[in-house]
Amino acid sequence: MYGFEAMTFNIHGGYLEAIVRGHRAGLLTAADYNNLCQCETLDDIKMHLSATEYGPYLQNEPSPLHTTTIVEKCTLKLVDEYKHMLCQATEPLSTFLEYITYGHMIDNVVLIVTGTLHERDVQELLEKCHPLGMFDSIATLAVAQNMRELYRLVLVDTPLAPYFSECITSEDLDDMNIEIMRNTLYKAYLEDFYKFCQKLGGATAEIMSDLLAFEADRRAVNITINSIGTELTRDDRRKLYSNFGLLYPYGHEELAVCEDIDQVVRAVMEKYPPYQSIFSKLSYGESQMLDKAFYEEEVKRLCLAFEQQFHYGVFFAYMRLREQEIRNLMWISECVAQNQKSRVHDSVVFIF
Amino acid sequence: MGDVRGGCCPPMDLFRSEPMQLVQLIIPIESAHLTVAYLGDLGILQFKDLNSEKSPFQRTYASQIKKCGEMARKLRFFKEQMVKAGFSPSTKSEARGDIDVDDLEVKLGELEAELIEMNANGEKLQRSYNELVEYKLVLQKAGEFFASAQHSAVAQQREMESRQMGEESIETPLLQDQETTIDLSKQVKLGFITGLVPREKSMAFERILFRATRGNVLLKQVPVEDPVTDPVSGEKMEKNVFVVFYSGERAKNKILKICEAFGANRYPFAEDLGKQALMITEVSGRITELKTTIDAGSYHRDNLLRTIGDQFEQWNLKVKKEKSIYHTLNMLSLDVTKKCLVAEGWSPVFATKQVQESLQRAAFDSNSQVGAIFQVLSTRESPPTYFRTNKFTSAFQEIVDAYGVAKYQEANPGVYTIITFPFLFAVMFGDWGHGICLLLATLFFIVREKKLSSQKLGDITEMTFGGRYVIMMMALFSIYTGLIYNEFFSVPFELFGRSAYACRDLTCRDASTVGLIKVRETYPFGVDPAWHGTRSELPFLNSLKMKMSILLGVAQMNLGIILSYFNATFFGSSLNVWFQFIPQMIFLNSLFGYLSLLIIVKWCTGSQADLYHVMIYMFLSPTDELGENQLFPGQKTVQLVLLLLALVSVPWMLLPRPFLLKKQHENQHQGQSYTPLESTDDTLHSEANNDSHGHGHEEFEFSEVFVHQLIHTIEFVLGAVSNTASYLRLWALSLAHSELSVVFYEKVLLLAWGFNNIIILIVGIIIFIFATVGVLLVMETLSAFLHALRLHWVEFQNKFYEGDGYKFYPFSFALLGDEDD
């Protein structure tokens, strides 16, 4: 269903859409990646990046660079752009933009909680958090002993609060619990985001539902693979899948009972034409390559979101693409720093 | 510039762009750096990138560029530090001779290390200083709190005691006695924590504390009036002093964690009053001690920064130069022997000698055994366009370049723009009062030119400043046209003698209606002031301005077509002369040239003929008699001939050129296949020099050429009509301008004057001034500017201007400063 976005979209969204499309034009191209892959040292990478939009962010870094500095500065650029867009946005775009960060928020919460569980320093943990997922009282998470406290103390103030309704228990936190909490939160988040996009309607709903469905399905597959061989029961596993997406509901039933990656998961996924291509590219036993295959597919879909005008999907797509780009840069820098240049292509996903 | 060129012809600096040549320099590697540096000083050579397929870090001098980048970073660090410390790098450049780059690098490294160490020390001191300040605040505020609490507690106790002393009434709780006694003996030990928390976080802090301890805390907060410097971040922020009372060890742990999470700094605090006083004095003492240490430290630091500041500009320039030199060197290709670098680039022909001189100088200065080789290459690639403009002409050239940079050596409309642009503007902006205001404004910029050009201006000021000479010309011309229109803020003056008209007799009191007769010679210059305010003023001025617009338009369009003739002869294309220039000339002039002629004849003879009628019936029924519309004998025959000429010139424009081009191409092609063998070597050689740009013979596609010609013809024929009509905007804008100024003058100023009230008059004058400045001087200037711009870009330049060249960007140190962000 297409609404009449073309008539009214530009009143509020036109400026930002133009901005985001301009930002997109600044994404690194295949030629850039080729050059980056040939770099010998991190300084070479810095030099190459100084000709791109990352230039101003890296130019004041003293010379012995570290991968973390590069990643940090590149992320800073993304954050700056995001903040600028958020400042300019009006409802409902601003809510949409905020939704994009909730995923990072969940990751940050999990990071801090796991970190405190293993008695890491809070400051150190805070530095590792993704800046997009920061909220005021994030450092206080360290105080919490169990899920209920976590919710009652800190998260009740954050936008994540509603997602917690399903996972409030008084059990003490442990690794397993936290992982389940992460997935439950993510499930609730994705469903909420999906609902929100449906409410927006028009091209946004159409494009975002496609992108979010892909995200949900990917998570479902990942959950399945990661939970094989653990003590998670089938019902519990089933509960972690989001209630939408291509796999919902029949694929979920089948995934829930999977016990083997190569045979069963593949068999399930190959019933769905869009995912067939992903799995057909992987030979048996290469399940660790699955991540990259999914990333490639995601990037393809995100790029397609830019083909259509007058919708909010471009913002989501842009943020995701930039994040992918930063992942790429991190991988390349790591490979260069550790002299593993032969592996450079293992995990880099070209965007254009 | 007094260089010799041919002798016979005067220099044509702006009429056509400078003749350029592609030169090749073969520079021995040891003198390459110096050579490029000298060429940069000269600033007259545009290097071609011969390594475009290589990525930046694969090039020869990548490591040097990295080094320069590192130095630039250090310099930026110094600058940042200087700005923080409140210095500005001094602009006085002490020419201390040349600094060696390697020395500079070492020096910068040392200075940076020194500065960083000082900063670290200073920071440490500052941090403890800030901590002490905070501590003092906590001591004071919490002390106050404790004192007042104790005070009230004492008062309460006293009250209680006094009540106990009195007779026990019924209201006295029975257990009170017991309570107080128990309180004293089995008192739960309440712990407390004091510290500072940022004010914006204080609410959340309180909330979290409450939730974490389930309300079993007492939090007391006192805002600190002045912003406090945070010891950790070193930023000034508003803070609250807090005291938290809690009970139990678990609560304490939680509170400590929360404090940490909120960035709340905790400080120990003694309950005892005497101890408090002691601590305050101790802390104050340490604060003063630290203060002196910090002051001494910052004095040293300031000294260091000042010495850096003295030479900062020099170093900065040096580093920038070095970086640009290495960037240029990276564009040169390394010879196979790796002993010399090969450079290719464009340079104006006149600069050959200068370039050679600096090559020799470089070879000499670098003690190189071999000099650089300079040779001119022949190429079919189109050279860049380079005009030698000065501060007066550059703005006008910018106006043209904004539309498109001229093709190499094509006729440059910029020359004519210098006069026509301000003139057309002035036709629309004719009022000598406004012109004088504009002139004064722009003279302000021109007088302070030296000062203003060195400093950074705002966006709009920058733009106005850049166009100051354009505006000056516009103002001068509008004073001129204003005198012709006889308008000074819409008021006419009898500047050039008295009006030629006067009342016939005493009865015509209201001279604006009827009854004026000519009593004197015609008013010598411009419009007779007597027209002002008469009923026929508007029809008269309209007719005048409309006809004038057409005359100006036809003249300018003719100039454009004539320029296309100069282009055609310059590029040696007789085809364009015979089948483009001549029919175009005929077409335009047989219609609108004829109209202009009629206008002039009508003005001279004072005929009553209706020109619309003449023009329309010239097409509709050319054979009819003209009757009373006849302006001169034989007009009918002339019209018939002109009409026929116009009709003939259309197919003349359209048909022959594509066919002739085709024939030409075929001839060339044939000729080529019959060329003797030895010359193929030559062509091969010359082709090898051409890069991918200059393909000698493009594919000739007849249909494309024909369609192109068709479009061109249609555009010209229709354009002749629409462009002439477009020049009527001169009249429209001029009318709008004069009517607006009349409205402001009469409806504001005269109306206010009529009230005979000083306040109303002042208000009226203020409104008048604002309306004049805002609407007439700013907005009308902009709109007239835009319309003049359009007339130049579209109506004038489409007659001849290709504008598909590219600008000449020489490698020059003088331009480096502009790139500064």
pLDDT digits (tens, 9 = 90+) for B626-672: 778 888 888 889 999 999 999 999 999 999 989 998 888 888 776 55
Residue B62 pLDDT > 90, yes or no? no
pLDDT tens digits for range B271-282: 777 787 888 888
pLDDT at A168: 67
Name the more confident of B119 and A349: B119
**Which 3 state secondary structure label does DSSP give A107?**
helix
Least confident of B84-98, B204-218, B715-729: B84-98
Confidence of residue B469 (pLDDT cuts 50, 70, 90): very high
Residue B609, chain A, CB below 8 Å: the answer is no
Residue A140, chain B, CB below 8 Å: the answer is yes
- DSSP-assigned beta bridge partners for residue B518: B501
Residue B560 pLDDT > 90, yes or no? yes
Q: Which of B116, B206, B211, B256 to mutate to test the interface with A (most CBs of A within 10 A)?
A: B211
pLDDT at A5: 76
Name the most confidently modeled range: B103-107, B271-275, B283-287, B783-787: B783-787
Residue B242 pLDDT > 90, yes or no? no
pLDDT at B694: 41
* List of chain A residues whose C-beta atoms are within 8 Å of the C-beta of residue B56: 47-48, 51
Q: What is the CATH number of the domain that holds A55?
A: 1.10.132.50
Burial class (CB in 10 A: 0-12, 13-18, 19+), A258: buried
**Which 3 state secondary structure label does DSSP give B545?**
helix
Is there a contact between A137 and B204 if contact means CB atoms under 8 Å apart? yes
Residue B454, chain A, CB below 8 Å: the answer is no
pLDDT at A260: 76
Return the percentage of chain B with pLDDT > 70, whole number: 88
Is there a contact between B66 and A47 if contact means CB atoms under 8 Å apart? yes
Rg of chain B, C-alpha, whole Å? 43
Measured CA to CA, the distance from residue B151 to residue B159 in angstroms comes to 12
Phi, psi for residue B242 in degrees, rounded to 5: -130, 155
Name the more confident of B474 and A256: B474
Average pLDDT value for chain B = 82
pLDDT at B188: 59
Least confident of A126-135, A252-261, A295-304: A252-261
Residue A344, chain B, CB below 8 Å: the answer is no
CB interface of B with A, residues 506-545, below 8 Å: none
Measured CA to CA, the distance from residue B580 to residue B292 in angstroms comes to 87
Least confident of A69-78, B109-118, B235-244: B235-244
In this structure, is residue A319 part of a structural domain? yes
pLDDT at B821: 43
* List of chain A residues whose C-beta atoms are within 8 Å of the C-beta of residue B258: 140, 143
In this structure, is residue A5 part of a structural domain? yes
The model carries a pTM of: 0.73
* List of chain B residues whose C-beta atoms are within 8 Å of the C-beta of residue A62: 70, 73
pLDDT tens digits for range B720-757: 999 999 999 999 999 999 999 999 998 888 888 888 88
In this structure, is residue A134 part of a structural domain? no
Residue B109, chain A, CB below 8 Å: the answer is no
pLDDT at B4: 40
Residue B350, chain A, CB below 8 Å: the answer is no
- Domain holding A22, by residue range, is 1-80+311-351
Confidence of residue A285 (pLDDT cuts 50, 70, 90): low
Is there a contact between A139 and B65 if contact means CB atoms under 8 Å apart? no
Measured CA to CA, the distance from residue B778 to residue B617 in angstroms comes to 44
Name the more confident of A119 and A216: A216
* List of chain A residues whose C-beta atoms are within 8 Å of the C-beta of residue B78: none
| Token code pair at residue B638 | 């002339």
Taking each helix axis from N to C end, the angle separating B702-726 and B656-673, rounded to the nearest 10 degrees, works out to 140
**Of residues B57, B208, B211, nearest to A39 (C-beta):** B57
- DSSP-assigned beta bridge partners for residue B340: B28
In this structure, is residue A24 part of a structural domain? yes
Least confident of A194-198, A312-316, B608-612: B608-612
Residue A263 pLDDT > 80, yes or no? no
- State mean pLDDT over B313-334: 86
Residue B201, chain A, CB below 8 Å: the answer is yes
What's the one-letter identity of residue A234? Answer: R
Q: Which of A35, A47, A124, A158 to mutate to test the interface with B (most CBs of B within 10 A)?
A: A47
pLDDT at B783: 94
Residue B366 pLDDT > 50, yes or no? yes
CB interface of B with A, residues 216-275, below 8 Å: 254, 257-258, 260-262
Return the percentage of chain B with pLDDT > 90, whole number: 25
Contacts of B708 (CB under 8 A, 6+ apart): none
Our CA-based measurement puts residue B191 at a distance from the nearest CA of chain A, in whole angstroms, of 19
Residue B145, chain A, CB below 8 Å: the answer is no
How many angstroms separate the Cα of B374 from the Cα of each of B194, B333, B648, B682? 80, 15, 55, 21
Is there a contact between A153 and B201 if contact means CB atoms under 8 Å apart? no
pLDDT at B500: 80
* List of chain B residues whose C-beta atoms are within 8 Å of the C-beta of residue A109: none
DSSP string, B404-443: -PPPTT---THHHHHHHHHHHHHHHT--HHHHHHHHHHHH
Residue B645, chain A, CB below 8 Å: the answer is no
pLDDT at B510: 55
Measured CA to CA, the distance from residue A275 to residue A160 in angstroms comes to 31
Return the percentage of chain A with pLDDT > 90, whole number: 20
Name the most confidently modeled range: A122-131, B186-195, B240-249, B419-428: B419-428
Contact at 8 Å (CB) between B228 and B198? no
Our CA-based measurement puts residue A272 at a distance from the nearest CA of chain B, in whole angstroms, of 43
In this structure, is residue A121 part of a structural domain? no
* List of chain B residues whose C-beta atoms are within 8 Å of the C-beta of residue A157: 204, 207
Count of CB contacts below 8 A, A vs B? 61
pLDDT tens digits for range B582-594: 999 999 999 999 9
In this structure, is residue A13 part of a structural domain? yes
CB interface of A with B, residues 304-323, below 8 Å: none
pLDDT at B482: 93
Report the residue of chain B nearest A158, measured CA to CA: B204
Measured CA to CA, the distance from residue A322 to residue A318 in angstroms comes to 6
In this structure, is residue A101 part of a structural domain? no
Residue A263, chain B, CB below 8 Å: the answer is no
Q: CB atoms < 10 A from the CB of B647, how many?
A: 12
**Please, what is the end-to-end C-alpha distance for chain A in angstroms?**
29
pLDDT tens digits for range B380-391: 888 999 988 888
Contacts of B798 (CB under 8 A, 6+ apart): B560, B715, B719
If one counts the domains in chain A, the total is 1
* List of chain A residues whose C-beta atoms are within 8 Å of the C-beta of residue B254: 143
* List of chain B residues whose C-beta atoms are within 8 Å of the C-beta of residue A51: 56
Residue B395 pLDDT > 70, yes or no? yes
Contact at 8 Å (CB) between B51 and B341? no
In this structure, is residue A43 part of a structural domain? yes
pLDDT at B193: 82
pLDDT at B42: 85
Residue A44, chain B, CB below 8 Å: the answer is yes
Residue A48, chain B, CB below 8 Å: the answer is yes
- State mean pLDDT over B209-236: 79
Residue B179 pLDDT > 60, yes or no? no
pLDDT tens digits for range B794-807: 999 999 998 888 99
Measured CA to CA, the distance from residue B356 to residue B379 in angstroms comes to 20
Residue A41 pLDDT > 50, yes or no? yes
Confidence of residue B8 (pLDDT cuts 50, 70, 90): very low
| Token code pair at residue B685 | 């050689």
